[in-house]
Homo-oligomer: A and B are copies of this chain.
Amino acid sequence: MARPLIQLALDHLDAGAAVKLAEVTAPYVDIFEIGTPCIKHNGISLVKELKKKFPNKLVLVDLKTMDAGEYEATPFYAAGADICTVLGVSGLATIQGVINAANKHNGEVQVDLINVPDKAACARESAKIGAHIIGVHTGLDAQAAGQTPFADLSTIAGLGLNVRISVAGGIKQATVQQVARAGAGIVVVGAAIYGAADPVAAAREISELASAA
Interface residues of A (CB under 8 A from B): 11, 13, 36-37, 39-45, 63-64, 66-69, 71-72, 75-76, 87, 89-91, 93-94, 97, 114-115, 117, 139-142, 144-145
Contacts and interface: CB of A to CB of B under 8 A. Distances in A.
* Chain A contact surface mostly: helix
A140 B66 CA distance: 10
A64 B39 CA distance: 13
A36 B144 contact: no
Number of copies of this chain in the oligomer?
2
A158 to B, nearest CB: 25
Nearest to A89: B89
Contacts of A117: 117
A67 B45 CA distance: 23
29 contacts: A13-B75, A36-B66, A36-B67, A40-B40, A40-B44, A40-B72, A40-B76, A41-B44, A42-B43, A42-B44, A43-B43, A43-B45, A64-B64, A64-B66, A64-B67, A66-B114, A66-B115, A67-B140, A67-B142, A68-B139, A68-B141, A69-B141, A89-B115, A90-B139, A90-B141, A91-B115, A93-B141, A93-B144, A97-B141
Contacts of A144: 93
Contacts of A140: 67-68, 71
* List of 4 A-B pairs having minimum Cβ-Cβ separation, nearest first: A43-B43, A67-B139, A93-B141, A37-B72
